[in-house]
Amino acid sequence: MKNLINYENALVNAGDDSRIVNVMQRALNGEKLTLAFLGGSITQGCLATTPEGCYAGLTYKWWQDAFPKADFTYVNAGIGGTTSHLGTARVEEEVLSHKPDFVIVEFSVNDADDSEHFKETYEGLVRRILKADWAPALLLVHNVRYDDGGNAEAIHLPVGKHYNLPSVSMKSTIYELVATGKIKNRDVTEDDLHPNDAGHGLVAEVITYYLKQVKAKAEELQAKASGTEVTRCAVETLPAPITANGYENAHRYRNDELQVVSNEGFVKDETPQSCVSDCFKKGFTASNLNDKIVFIVEGESIGVQFKRTKQGPVPVAKITVDGEHSLILDGNFDEDWDCLALETVVEHGKAGKHTVEVEIIETHENDREGFYLVSLITA
């Protein structure tokens, strides 16, 4: 299958590769470097038979093999079923805190392809990474659905072009072979969304084909530099945003940070979180009708994260902001997996402090577990 791919089609935006070249020069010199991957379930490695066999693990392995003198650290910050809205709210804690030198961002099968909201959250995430004071290199990756070719390139690619970022696509490469019948979809995916081992291998091949071209530039520059120390790239001034850009400074508040005003029945979950993808932690659980918790948060936009589970029935809650904006939070899920749901309650509202109430409005005699409130996200 590898021989069928037109790898040249992958680069949907060439962009400025100077930050990646700089990282590779430092890798050639044998520096300690950190590689981070931020995205959804494909990045996490869903349907890969081993953690090392996902595209992120395989791309990391390519860096190790390509630059044997360097000492690499691997950060996989993929969480299944999540979007760039959560991505920009957690990137500081789960990616930038590791001071990565090279970052891949992948949310193109989770963000809606016609949503100004996700164009805005994606831009906020991109800006946040580019602004980091150590100038990490950023590569945008666009995965794809293999049944219809759907992804969010229509809203993500303009962001990549605006910030002059290298962007590679599986739509114009792997999916093109599926769409034309040159390879069968079941050769690369079991559910038309998540790659199998062979599919993850092809995604990694598409990414590393591009990286090999950049490596050739880095080797040429390094040969001219005669092994001298390579200075990191400077952080450049970013262009004005192309969206309202209300999510650049988004923050996720969990039970260790939320300001609780009153609480009737919600229980703080203090179970330790084992890893990034162990995402139903540091929240609150409630099981009884009329259980209610009240918070004070600050911002113009407010989102809520909660657990939707296949193990239902579970209670149903209602969230209300300032007594005006409300939303039903149904913890019951009709899929075969547990979903880390994120709903926007208020977007681009009034700046300042807001009162947020979450109340259980429906329970069932045979509830299997409580309603789980994961976090509030403000921007």
Query: Where exactly are the structural domains of the chain?
Result: 2-225, 251-378
Q: Which pLDDT score, from 0 to 100, does residue 227 have? A: 65
Q: 2-225 sits in which CATH class? A: alpha beta
Average pLDDT across each block of 10 residues of the chain; the chain has 379 residues. List them in order: 89 98 96 98 96 97 98 98 98 98 98 96 98 98 97 98 98 96 95 97 98 97 81 94 98 98 98 95 98 98 97 95 97 92 98 98 96 98
DSSP 3-state of 27:
helix
Q: Which pLDDT score, from 0 to 100, does residue 159 have? A: 98
Residues sharing a CB contact under 8 Å with residue 190, sequence separation 6 or more, in sequence order: 47, 196
What is the DSSP annotation of 76-104? Answer: EEE-TT--HHHHHHHHHHHTGGG--SEEE
CA distances for 328 relative to 102, 123, 197, 311, angstroms: 39, 28, 38, 19
CA distances for 12 relative to 111, 154, 174, 279, angstroms: 18, 12, 14, 33
Going through 152-309 in order, the beta strands assigned E by DSSP cover 167-169, 251-253, 259-264, 267-268, 284-286, 292-298, 302-308
Whether the CB-CB separation of 321 and 361 falls below 8 Å is answered with no
Helices 116-130 and 153-162, packing angle to 10 deg: 30
Topology at the third CATH level for domain 251-378: Jelly Rolls (2.60.120)
Helices 116-130 and 84-94, packing angle to 10 deg: 20
